[in-house]
Structure 1
Amino acid sequence: MGSLKALGLTIGCVLLAACAGVSAPTTPEDIVAQRAQAHLDLLLAEDYARGLEYTTPAYRVGRGLNSYTRSFAGAANWNKADVQSVICEGDRCEVAIEVTYQAYKAGFVNTRSREERWIRVDGSWYLYLK
């Protein structure tokens, strides 16, 4: 019985140490980079309903899923999308993204940069779309 307690204690310590090494992003740049990449990953998966959750509350109420889906219609051709940099000032961040996509009719793969604006609303960061 004593060896089981020791084993349990050892496993608990290992798990606690592993969790201590994982830290949540703390700077606005880190938080926005993580959220922007998660949003891009949803676009790559064509999960527009979940991607919409990353837009501002006002956009979700005023524009909705159909408008959002139309805004990202070309994302269905994306092969890869990565956050390159995030620069924040106050409650606004500019996010540079690199997108690789397949141009089906032309038959080639292209990579281009795009910019996104993220804003802080009530303490949370959201993609700003007009």
Structure 2
Amino acid sequence: MVLLPAALAACSLLAPKPDAEIVKARAEAFYKARLAGDAESAYSFAAPSYRAVTSLDRFRQRHVVGTHLQGVEVVNVECESQASVCTARTRLDFVPPPVMVGGRAESVGGVQSTYRDERWIKEDGGWWRYFDPLK
């Protein structure tokens, strides 16, 4: 009788995590790397098919350098049933870059927020952030 609860607990530890939980954790880790300016770590979350055609330097220029992110929250993740695609709804907090007014740069304001739906795909047995290599 004492072994039954222990056996059930062990089974729950071995049970695979739901895809949405895995994607949420990976999305949070991806943005943690971006916020830290760690392009190499952020790049490691991109799909292998993307990394095969896009260099780290190109990724850094497009997705890390010059960003004004202040904070990120992965609000929720929805995965398509029987599919290898999940969408992570993400709130991005950022400071807009200054605008030129009368020949001088002026601040647009403080921290602003926006929401973005980001696609994660299952490829080579793992979950990866989808980036369009043509953009």
Which bin holds the TM-score, normalised by the shorter protein? 0.7 to 0.9
8 A Cα contact 1:95 1:118, kept in partner: yes
Amino acid corresponding to residue 37 of structure 1 in structure 2:
E
The unaligned stretches of length 5 or more in structure 2 are 1-9, 99-107
Matched, 1:127 2:129: yes
Question: Which residue of structure 1 aligns with residue 34 of structure 2?
Answer: 43
Structure 1 residue 86: Cα displacement = 0.5
The partner residue of 2:89 within 96, 99, 104 is 96
What is the CA RMSD across the aligned residues, in angstroms?
2.0
Change over 3 Å in CA distance of 1:99–1:75 after alignment to 2: farther
Give the Cα–Cα distance (whole angstroms) in 1 for the partners of residues 93 and 56 of structure 2.
24
SS of residue matched to 1:108 = coil
TM-score (norm. length: structure 1):
0.76
Question: Which residue of structure 1 aligns with residue 78 of structure 2?
Answer: 87
Structure 1 residue 64: Cα displacement = 1.5
Give the Cα–Cα distance (whole angstroms) in 2 for the partners of residues 108 and 79 of structure 1.
11
Question: Which residue of structure 2 aligns with residue 27 of structure 1?
Answer: 18
Identity percentage of aligned residues: 28
Instruction: Count how many residue pairs are aligned between Structure 1 and Structure 2.
Output: 109
TM-score (norm. length: structure 2):
0.73
Runs of 4 or more consecutive aligned structure 1 residues displaced over 2 Å after TM superposition: 73-76
8 A Cα contact 1:46 1:75, kept in partner: no
The unaligned stretches of length 5 or more in structure 1 are 1-19
Give the Cα–Cα distance (whole angstroms) in 2 for the partners of residues 115 and 74 of structure 1.
21
Structure 1 residue 72: Cα displacement = 1.5
1:62-101, Cα deviation, whole Å (9 max, x unpaired): 0121221233246631110110110101100011000101
1:36-74, Cα deviation, whole Å (9 max, x unpaired): 000011000010111100001111120121221233246
Q: Bigger shift: 69-78 or 112-121?
A: 69-78
Instruction: Give the structure with the larger helix fraction.
Output: 1
Structure 1 residue 109: Cα displacement = 1.4
Matched, 1:70 2:55: no
